[in-house]
Structure 1
């Protein structure tokens, strides 16, 4: 399976990326490994290409692009984006994947996903911690060098023009993952659904914290053992992993949420509450809760409630999993090559067909047209809600400016009044330059905003802001809910199309009879 990771960097030294990709580095310290003569050691095997640049002058060319467009001047600016495509180690032995082939695949993906950007595409065959998995690094300058055709994942105006900064949005990442999945299946490589939420969501940051924490505790324990003592702890757990293990232990012995809640608190001092239809957990050493989304779907309300229901043999009859797409075996290269894999896909397809039929019946869709019309109407509704939401967010920004400049105006009005009446204005302005400048800035902004000269009071503006914030929060929740509904509708629609096009045995076909009318 290929997986995709993303890391953003504020490091203005683009040479650091070249050095890391070309030369051996110590994974513990992050420092470059040198030989006896103090010279850097090249990696044993790597493949390098450049997009819109010479790979060996990537750093200088990026700096020239930034200077040309006057971008990435501030320390907090994101200077580059680092994407990593890691392939399944089994692909090497089972599907003949080589570093050269992985580089060719990844280079095509980079050309497709990062048009107009300067990029380094480098494939390593050593794997992380010498695991042996082939992986490709794609490092791009955050500023687009040349204009390109507008892409479907672009949702901001002028995102395709030269000088625009790359944005790794959810929409872009989902498109990237879908593209990687499709290419891997086309190449006959192992692949999982990258768009499905992970059961155990472990970010790169948590992975590195776990790794460094374990190294630290191992070093401490080694010294304790050398002193003839026995270590009290041999395993390091991040706070999130502590929560996961505690939840796993309590969930299997709980038959409802109240019991689950009590056991977590009693055995592990973990507080769990339900908020807006989701669980959130409080680690005993934290003050801020960790949401179920940060832990993975296995630790969310939906999965855990199914776990509780399974304690009741009758309740399980009413448990239904999330809809997933039916896989077309005729176009799935992996299924063609592996009968065992094809058999697993067939079983999964049967389950998803059943889930789809249940969904269609539960929502009262009498015909396929009803389903498609509801899907189209929901998409239009979402578009209108997002447009209104964007307008209200824009109104909030304007309202914040009104509040800021109104407050700034009245806070410095007295100083400016004294300045107007001062005998030596030059001296007074010099002594109160900051206050006078703020007053004049606020005055000029308010004059341009209030054409009739009538200003709104701070109290009224504050009340308007509170009301608008409540409206935005409500719209955000409604949009999130509608997106979930759309996801199921879209999956059901595609599955119905797949079911009706398949040659299904008569007993199964009769279950979709109502959809064929």
Structure 2
């Protein structure tokens, strides 16, 4: 999918401009400017800010950095020049009146566009409004342009909650091609969770294989208490709570995934046996770790272990097929369990007289 991320910065524009224009990352024909000269972008941004007496303090947000990454699966349909033209249309639709530097990078497996937007409008001196509404508009515009150019694999789903949390600092490191301790931890959790048969085994694997200690503590959020996992390992300034990693790394997701896989193994992976009892009558089983997370973990671990690329591809394909089957079985069990609950509630309603009927009987008396 085409992932659109946005970062704000209080640093000088010249630093990001110098980084994006490195010869090994791009070339001259893949650099352009909107409402500005791309060769003098930083200077013009500074002059615009001075003209409207904006961004003169150290803590003022000088610019916004937006990244539009296309899916590698669309590489056969997308050239660098086409990606840059899409980037220019993207800027025209979203940043009218602002000075924008547009740079297309070719240094990764996937083609991606960088946009540096001066936070001060050239037309009226108003500051760019960076809120959730404008971020979702950026993603909608990206999807529209992908559809126009038949980039079906680069259309980003907009109806899902974020499954992982990425801070702006981590995103900057990812842009530079650097691994973060949090991305390392996510890959380690995914790998240990899907190879463990019990929760204790998961904790022991994390400790023995990666020297990461997994403990539990009670967290209070918005007046509600819940038990979470905490991870403490080498290089951590302090323990990391599971809520800082994303939805699919939370304690309940990991534990339910391990329990479900153990039950399937005990039944010989026949999820049709006792399907109504697998999820529990009163407890809803959260979705286990997804196929995408498995692929990310496999790729990460393979890179760390320098395995053969062809061998890794085969392993990833096997993991994808296995997890897709598990997810289909999981969804079917949830549907059957839900149907059983509805039938049980209907039977109870037939046995018990309604409040209105009771009132009618009292009036007749």
Given that 2:120 and 2:126 are in contact with CA atoms closer than 8 Å, whether structure 1 keeps it comes out as yes
Q: Verify: 1:289 aligned to 2:239, yes or no.
A: yes
String of CA shifts for 1:246-270, please: whole Å, max 9, x gaps.
Answer: 56325632435x6645665677351
Match of 1:127 in 2: 107
Given that 2:192 and 2:202 are in contact with CA atoms closer than 8 Å, whether structure 1 keeps it comes out as no
Give the structure with the larger helix fraction. 1
String of CA shifts for 1:10-44, please: whole Å, max 9, x gaps.
Answer: 333x344444444515x8xxxxxxxxxxxxxxx54
Aligned-partner SS, 2:50: helix
Match of 2:318 in 1: none
Given that 1:206 and 1:238 are in contact with CA atoms closer than 8 Å, whether structure 2 keeps it comes out as no
1:355–1:165 Cα change, 3 Å: farther
Q: Distance in 1 between matches of 2:263 and 2:172?
A: 39
Match of 2:309 in 1: none
1:107–1:320 Cα change, 3 Å: same
Aligned-partner SS, 1:245: helix
String of CA shifts for 1:293-318, please: whole Å, max 9, x gaps.
Answer: 44344422343133133122455456
Give the structure with the larger strand fraction. 2
Structure with more relative contact order (C-alpha pairs < 8 Å, separation 6 or more): 2
Q: Verify: 1:65 aligned to 2:16, yes or no.
A: no
Aligned-partner SS, 1:211: coil
Q: State TM-score, norm by structure 2.
A: 0.60
1:306–1:134 Cα change, 3 Å: same
Given that 2:252 and 2:286 are in contact with CA atoms closer than 8 Å, whether structure 1 keeps it comes out as no
Q: Verify: 1:279 aligned to 2:278, yes or no.
A: no
Cα deviation for residue 166 of structure 1 reads: 3.7
Match of 1:141 in 2: 118
Match of 1:85 in 2: 68
Aligned pairs for 1:74-473 (under 5 A) are 74-93=57-76, 95=77, 97-124=78-105, 126-128=106-108, 131=109, 133-146=110-123, 162-167=125-130, 169-189=131-151, 190-191=153-154, 193=156, 195=158, 196=160, 197-198=162-163, 203-205=170-172, 207=174, 211=178, 238=181, 240-242=183-185, 244-246=187-189, 248-250=191-193, 252-256=195-199, 260-261=202-203, 264=206, 268-273=211-216, 275=219, 276-277=225-226, 279-285=228-234, 286=236, 288-310=238-260, 311-313=262-264, 314=274, 316=278, 319=285, 321=287
1:356–1:63 Cα change, 3 Å: farther
String of CA shifts for 1:204-227, please: whole Å, max 9, x gaps.
Answer: 345479837xxxxxxxxxxxxxxx
Asked which structure has the greater CA Rg, the reply is: 1
1:251–1:287 Cα change, 3 Å: farther
String of CA shifts for 1:434-484, please: whole Å, max 9, x gaps.
Answer: xxxxxxxxxxxxxxxxxxxxxxxxxxxxxxxxxxxxxxxxxxxxxxxxxxx
1:145–1:173 Cα change, 3 Å: same
String of CA shifts for 1:88-129, please: whole Å, max 9, x gaps.
Answer: 233232x2x1223222222222222223321112324x233x
String of CA shifts for 1:315-343, please: whole Å, max 9, x gaps.
Answer: 54564649xxxxxxxxxxxxxxxxxxxxx
Cα deviation for residue 80 of structure 1 reads: 1.1
Given that 1:53 and 1:61 are in contact with CA atoms closer than 8 Å, whether structure 2 keeps it comes out as yes
Q: Verify: 1:50 aligned to 2:33, yes or no.
A: yes
String of CA shifts for 1:371-410, please: whole Å, max 9, x gaps.
Answer: xxxxxxxxxxxxxxxxxxxxxxxxxxxxxxxxxxxxxxxx
Cα deviation for residue 180 of structure 1 reads: 1.7
Given that 2:100 and 2:118 are in contact with CA atoms closer than 8 Å, whether structure 1 keeps it comes out as yes
Cα deviation for residue 66 of structure 1 reads: 0.9
String of CA shifts for 1:191-249, please: whole Å, max 9, x gaps.
Answer: 2545442469694345479837xxxxxxxxxxxxxxxxxxxxxxxx8365146415632
RMSD over aligned CA atoms reads: 4.3
Given that 1:4 and 1:177 are in contact with CA atoms closer than 8 Å, whether structure 2 keeps it comes out as yes
Q: Distance in 1 between matches of 2:143 and 2:28?
A: 25
1:134–1:81 Cα change, 3 Å: same
Given that 1:53 and 1:118 are in contact with CA atoms closer than 8 Å, whether structure 2 keeps it comes out as yes
Runs of 5+ consecutive residues of structure 2 not aligned to the other structure: 220-224, 265-273, 289-320, 343-365
Cα deviation for residue 142 of structure 1 reads: 1.2
Given that 1:86 and 1:135 are in contact with CA atoms closer than 8 Å, whether structure 2 keeps it comes out as yes
